[in-house]
Amino acid sequence: MSAEPGIYDVIRRRRDVRAEFSGDLVDDRTLLRILDAAHRAPSVGNSQPWDFVVVRDRETLTTFAAHVADKRLEFRDALPAERARTFEPIKIEGITESGTGIVVTHDDQRGGPHVLGRASVPETGLYSTILAIQNLWLAATAEGVGVGWVSFYDTPFLADLIGLPVGVRPVAWLCVGPVDSFQEVPDLERFGWRARRSLEEAVHWEQFRG
């Protein structure tokens, strides 16, 4: 049986959303469907090392947005002048505009000391959490809901902001909300930051070629 064309369509439409949030909140029923899809991701040894912290408190959103803005300026100021000019118009987050943040966390101790399949490659625990994020993102796209991954922050700051216990770390802050539209071309390509590699460059047969 061939795969449904719909899944390929969703993969092609998926975007890292920044500026296209409509300003409406994603309704709880839709949000829980999206989180259910994330929670159904495969995980090493069925350890399910993820949790999802839903943040809607305006003060928390504003506090995190201010922190991210500071980190953005630090990054810009560290760039060579030409790259700084290219970076300047690129929006890196939609924290307050989306109205909903989902912090995906990772607990490396989930499943105990003997997680089946993790002994030789301990990173498979973190890979599992990343798969949950991918599930979430594709499900959201199918629902017409945008997702933006915010990565300009200090991990201890975010962990303290949402009260994470010792041993649990944030992997991603995802801005989640309805969008007016999805961009046809990803932002980093549209603004000239970096072009996409072709499939031919990424596929190797039998052995890696330089």
Going by C-alpha positions, the residue among 87, 50, 29 that lies closest to residue 174 is: 50
Give the span between the Cα atoms of 71 and 77, in whole angstroms.
10
**Domains of the chain, earliest start first:** 23-178 (3.40.109.10)
Residue 7 identity (one-letter amino acid) = I
Give residue 30's pLDDT: 98
Which tokens sit at 78? Answer: 């560290």
* 97-123 pLDDT tens trace: 999 999 999 999 888 887 787 878 889
Examine the pLDDT at 133 and tell me if it is beyond 90. Answer: yes
Give the span between the Cα atoms of 10 and 25, in whole angstroms.
21
Average pLDDT over residues 58-73: 96
pLDDT band at 54 (very low <50, low <70, confident <90, very high): very high
Give the span between the Cα atoms of 91 and 150, in whole angstroms.
11
Which residues contact residue 112 at a Cβ distance below 8 angstroms, ignoring those fewer than 6 apart?
Answer: none
Give residue 150's pLDDT: 96
Which tokens sit at 138? Answer: 């594709």
Give the span between the Cα atoms of 126 and 123, in whole angstroms.
5
* 75-98 pLDDT tens trace: 999 999 999 999 998 888 899 999
